[in-house]
Amino acid sequence: MIHYDRCPVCGASTIHPALEAKDYTVSGQTFAIWHCDGCTVRFTQDVPGIEDIGPYYQSDAYISHSDTREGLVNSLYHKVRAYTLQSKRKLVERASGKKAGDLLDIGCGTGAFLHTMQTAGWTVKGLEPDAGAREKAASLYGLTVQPVHELFDLPPASCDVITLWHVLEHVHDLKAYVDQFRKLLKPGGTLIIAVPNYTSFDADRYGAAWAAYDVPRHLYHFSPASMERLLQPVGLRVTGLQPMWFDSFYVSMLSERYKSGHENLIGAVFTGLRSNGKAWGNTALCSSVIYVCR
């Protein structure tokens, strides 16, 4: 187990318990989530180390690894994904100013986004820690995806764009990864990071039952302020925030199930709409935020 005496993002000693959340996906265990007064990041305290966390990902419900379509939530996820994949492609092109280039997707899962970008003319490379997901990427799209530890073997200044779609919150060696992103980017390169935002309305609405806490798989729980604090020391700056409007609905559907023990589509849609309404004029309040960095 990893116990933090100081904040894993800014190193401050002003850390304290904020709430306790349950692992609804695999173990049923409860984990403490702590808060840093210095940078406002939250983090899961006493999490399994990198060698021991694997069993917490072994679930058919873990959609990024299994590609499952079972159940209402997962079925709706797949219907929306076709649209969001093209939205991500357009965002990459807009943020980077390029129609093609060298793209690295970290935590690429079963390869849907890589396939979308490759089809659009990009040269792609994917890294993924889960062997089953790598095999699915090969069988579904003919992609050769490498284990994620190969991140540190890639040549410097080899990427026009690096993307992490709901991945950074899973990374144990957070600062080493961020430092490596900076080394891998070409001059003028673009880093795109999407993570849940615990300062959103839906996070406040569901509290400890908020599905995007997803303990212990989510090691960190970012706010916009903490993301800037993480990236700035290595020479990366956040140049824009983009919303992920669908995430508030997806997370709310899961959270309703966690909170009450049954599906509540109407309640989830209502909460998702309210969350997006709060974030309409301020993307920093969105359920999930995409950080465009240079």
User: Is residue 8 included in any domain, yes or no?
Assistant: no
Q: In what order do the strands lie in the sheet with 102-106?
A: 123-127, 102-106, 159-165, 185-196, 288-293, 238-243
C-alpha–C-alpha distance, residues 177 and 180, integer Å: 5
Is residue 3 included in any domain, yes or no? no
The Cα 237–Cα 240 span in angstroms is: 9
- pLDDT score, position 81: 75
User: Is there a domain that residue 191 lies in?
Assistant: yes
Task: Name the residue with tokens 């992490």.
Answer: 164
The pLDDT of residue 65 is 47
Question: Hey, what are 8's tokens?
Answer: 């894993």
- Asked, for residue 200, whether it belongs to a domain, the answer is yes
| Crossing angle of helices 224-231 and 174-184, rounded to 10° | 60
Whole-prediction pTM:
0.92
* CATH number of domain containing 101: 3.40.50.150
Q: Domain for residue 32, yes or no?
A: yes
Domain enclosing residue 65, as ranges? 15-293
- Give the H/E segment covering residue 218: none
* 1 falls within a domain: no
Cβ–Cβ contacts within 10 Å for residue 215, how many? 24
Of 44, 17, 45, 10, nearest in space to 226 by CA? 10
For residue 51, is it within any domain? Answer: yes
pLDDT of 155: 97
Residue 5 lies in a domain: no
3-state secondary structure at position 186:
strand
User: In this structure, what token pair is assigned to residue 42?
Assistant: 């939250």
d(CA 260, CA 209): 9
- Nearest alpha carbon to residue 25 among 89, 91, 71: 71
Interaxial angle between packed helices 72-96 and 247-260, expressed in degrees from 0 to 180 and rounded to the nearest 10: 150
Question: How many structural domains is the chain composed of?
Answer: 1
pLDDT tens for each residue of the chain, 294 residues long: 999 999 999 999 999 999 999 999 999 999 999 999 999 999 999 999 999 999 998 876 554 544 555 554 556 665 677 788 999 999 999 999 999 999 999 999 999 999 999 999 999 999 999 999 999 999 999 999 999 999 999 999 999 999 999 999 999 999 999 999 999 999 999 999 999 999 999 999 999 999 999 999 999 999 999 999 999 999 999 999 999 999 999 999 999 999 999 999 999 999 999 999 999 999 999 999 999 999
